Structure 1
Amino acid sequence: MAFFYEFFAGGGMVREALGPTWNCLLSNDFCQKKADAYIANWGDAELVVEDISKLKIPVAFPRADLAWASFPCQDLSLAGNGAGLSGEKSSAFWGFVKVMKRLKRRGDQPRLICVENVVGTLTSGDGKDFSLIVDALTSLGYLVGAVVIDSVHFVPQSRPRLFIVAASSEIELPPEITSGGPSAAWHPASILRAYNSLHEKQRDRWVWWNLSEPNQPVPRLIDVVECDPIGVKWHEPDYTSKLMQFMDSNNRRKVMGAQASGKLNVGGVYIRTRNGVPRAEVRFDGIAGCLRTPSGGSSRQTLLFVQGETIRSRLLSPREAARLMGLPDSYKLPERYNDAYHLAGDGVVVPVVQHLSRQVFEPIILANLADHNLQEVA
């Protein structure tokens, strides 16, 4: 059995991904609404609802194999305020570092750390914020590497995210999970630029993680939509007509192409404001746009159902949002629409975490911890 901490746990999507062969020692989140969702699915035995800067981990716990931290992205996002790691939300990263330092002092630091956030982390503050994260982890005694994984390889949602994986320098890294240089699949130009901007001492502690590419079939957007959705209603025809009016000629041509096929086509729509004018952008490639936490209403994703002359629209349902995050239908969602959508839009995609675990975490643990009962993982 492997042990983990889940910081900024939300509804426990990392716990869902790691599965029963991983034992959660502690989960932590500051938001009570997310904590309520966590409790509904996992109970409250391991959950501590507290500001991470005030969090204390009991000495009685066994040493964790993994500490996961999906800290707030608002100040790092390309659509955010640019405050970076000094911002009100994203500065919570330093609370996580404080906890890791405390564990190191008592000899209990986790063997692995995974820090997850938006890809904008690589360029925030002209790269300074990424450098600060790497420096914080290497100063704790870790080797550090990063990959960008787009959930589109696993679920019908375009959602690229940055995963910074750190391994204790005291443990052995199986040779098959590292490489001598970057991979086109997991190390885009943004990572290469961020790596090249690091100080020499930071680059000396860098690891190029080597993951296999997924080969399982990926469902399409039409495969995850509900026939009789719960929690949302179909828009009135006037609203759907207005939605079409918000589209430019390029997006209207996409709708016309969907109509011409004669088949049922489902597209994802976002309404964005350009120069004070609302614009609707639609895609019919079988992939939903990236889920975002709802703010005001403009960031809620709309679905457009097109079949011949019939065009209908409605918001994405909570269950559909959960499916786009790879959550099973057995996962219990909050009753209020905004709470459920926020929980999904603020979470991590389950099969992405599973892929990281199988490709990196579990091989490291199996190579180093003969006393762990990980036959089921193997």
Structure 2
Amino acid sequence: MQKFRLIDLYAGIGGIRLGFDQALGDSARFVFSNEIDDQCCITYKENFGVDPIGDITKIKSVDIPDFDLLLAGFPCQAFSIAGRREGFNDLRGTHFFEIARIIEDKKPKAFFLENVKHFEKHNKGRTFKTVKKTLEEKLGYTLYHQVLNARDFGLAQNRERIFMVGFKDPISFKFPSPMRKKNTVADILESNVDGKFFLSQRYLDTLKKHRQRHEDSNHGFGYIVLDKQKTANTLVLGGMGTERNLIKDTASLRKSGRKDANSEAIRRLTPREALRLQGFPDSYKIAVSKTAMFRQAANSVAVPVIKAIALQMMKTLEEKKSAPTLMPYVK
């Protein structure tokens, strides 16, 4: 396999990088990364040995080393259905144009972009139309996009995201097909979980009342105790996001000795379980607080999906490299 130089923009905790690392192995050499969140930078450095550069808007393209592949999971809060859908009216939404600037200046062989599922439909499709037009018409790349679900790639989480892959040359590309392997919540659970992850009886009672109010109003929102033999809901933050994936864990509660926990043995997911839901290996190091790590995991990506797409990209680029160059026909 040919060698590739990569840059990791809006890197978060390195989920996209990890997927490409797993796919490319020694053929991958990361030459640049950026992330503005200090806590994410701590986690990134602990796991990859490099400290990401900060604000990409202040980095000139000339100061970025030459590279072959650009990776970016650009800020999605501005486009998420969990937020206010402000899109390009939100400052975070304009970060796409920083990516476009770097692609235009550096002209990589290919790029990989990730965002929320509803990015394609935001503002009646006008946002995505602008992105597509910029990448194809202005920058001259062949663009492919598709929504993929993490549960179709061996993860116990229902998480749909849109993925965009572009090539400098006109190349035919196919996104990976779903895997047959299916996992459940039971596959990612830790044993002997600390008692502090269990809800107090008072808080659980509050959640029940809150859910009842929403049900009476037909809002359909409230806490959810997962069926361990099924798939988890999408990891989300904000509001009652952490209560959308609760677990009943009688064994851990009994061993923890906690006396003020709820009588139903309901607990939150641990940071390690959240990482497992995203496909991070247990060798991935937790270097920040449990609250910060859970937030980082929820904001990250499904690593096996990234790996599967990366393998397809490498296959496509390898086939392009090995294809014979045809001489023009002359009469």
Bucket of the pairwise TM-score, normalised by the shorter protein: 0.7 to 0.9
Taking the aligned partners of 1:95 and 1:347, their CA distance within structure 2 comes to 20
User: How far apart are 1:50 and its partner, in Å?
Assistant: 2.1
Partner of residue 287 from structure 1, selected from 225, 231, 234? 231
Partner of residue 53 from structure 2, selected from 45, 49, 56? 49
Taking the aligned partners of 2:76 and 2:101, their CA distance within structure 1 comes to 19
3-state SS of the aligned residue for 1:90? helix
3-state SS of the aligned residue for 2:265? strand
Per-residue CA shift, 1:264-305, capped at 9, x if unaligned? xxxxxxx9996899733444252111112x335x11144231
1:328 matches 2:281: yes
Per-residue CA shift, 1:117-175, capped at 9, x if unaligned? 0011111111000001101111111011211111011210111000011111x3544xx
Change beyond 3 A, Cα 1:30–1:231: farther
Match of 1:126 in 2: 124
Is the contact made by 1:53 and 1:99 (CA closer than 8 Å) also made in structure 2?
no
Is the contact made by 2:47 and 2:285 (CA closer than 8 Å) also made in structure 1?
yes
3-state SS of the aligned residue for 1:280? coil
Match of 1:22 in 2: 28
1:300 matches 2:242: yes
% same residue: 24
3-state SS of the aligned residue for 1:5? strand
User: How far apart are 1:61 and its partner, in Å?
Assistant: 3.4
Taking the aligned partners of 2:8 and 2:195, their CA distance within structure 1 comes to 29
| Structure 2 letter corresponding to 1:279 | G
Taking the aligned partners of 1:7 and 1:273, their CA distance within structure 2 comes to 44
Q: Which runs of 5+ in 2 are unaligned?
A: 251-262, 323-331
Taking the aligned partners of 2:195 and 2:12, their CA distance within structure 1 comes to 21
Taking the aligned partners of 1:152 and 1:68, their CA distance within structure 2 comes to 22
Q: How many residues align?
A: 300
Taking the aligned partners of 2:200 and 2:37, their CA distance within structure 1 comes to 35
Is the contact made by 1:29 and 1:49 (CA closer than 8 Å) also made in structure 2?
yes
| Structure 1 letter corresponding to 2:144 | G
| Structure 1 letter corresponding to 2:192 | D
Taking the aligned partners of 2:318 and 2:114, their CA distance within structure 1 comes to 23
Is the contact made by 1:73 and 1:117 (CA closer than 8 Å) also made in structure 2?
yes
- TM-score under structure 1 length normalisation: 0.72
| Structure 2 letter corresponding to 1:295 | G
Match of 1:40 in 2: 46
The equivalences for 1:167-178 within 5 A come to 167-168=167-168, 170=169, 172-173=171-172, 177=173
The equivalences for 1:192-211 within 5 A come to 209-211=174-176
Match of 2:143 in 1: 144
User: How far apart are 1:233 and its partner, in Å?
Assistant: 2.6
Is the contact made by 1:231 and 1:317 (CA closer than 8 Å) also made in structure 2?
no
Match of 2:189 in 1: 225
Q: Which runs of 4+ in 1 moved over 3 A?
A: 57-63, 237-248, 271-278
Match of 1:31 in 2: 37
Taking the aligned partners of 1:210 and 1:352, their CA distance within structure 2 comes to 10
Match of 1:206 in 2: none
Is the contact made by 2:114 and 2:162 (CA closer than 8 Å) also made in structure 1?
yes
Change beyond 3 A, Cα 1:135–1:274: farther
Bigger strand fraction? 1
1:161 matches 2:161: yes
1:235 matches 2:199: yes
Taking the aligned partners of 2:80 and 2:104, their CA distance within structure 1 comes to 26
Change beyond 3 A, Cα 1:63–1:16: closer
| Structure 1 letter corresponding to 2:67 | R
Match of 2:266 in 1: 313
Taking the aligned partners of 2:61 and 2:52, their CA distance within structure 1 comes to 10
| Structure 2 letter corresponding to 1:314 | R
Partner of residue 76 from structure 2, selected from 50, 69, 73? 73
3-state SS of the aligned residue for 2:222? strand
Per-residue CA shift, 1:285-335, capped at 9, x if unaligned? 52111112x335x1114423177xx73111111100000010011101233
Match of 2:328 in 1: none
What's the RMSD between the two structures over aligned residues? 2.8
Is the contact made by 1:172 and 1:367 (CA closer than 8 Å) also made in structure 2?
no
- TM-score under structure 2 length normalisation: 0.82
Per-residue CA shift, 1:212-233, capped at 9, x if unaligned? 3323x23210121111235943
User: How far apart are 1:55 and its partner, in Å?
Assistant: 1.7
Change beyond 3 A, Cα 1:227–1:22: same
Q: Which runs of 5+ in 1 are unaligned?
A: 104-108, 178-208, 249-270, 371-378
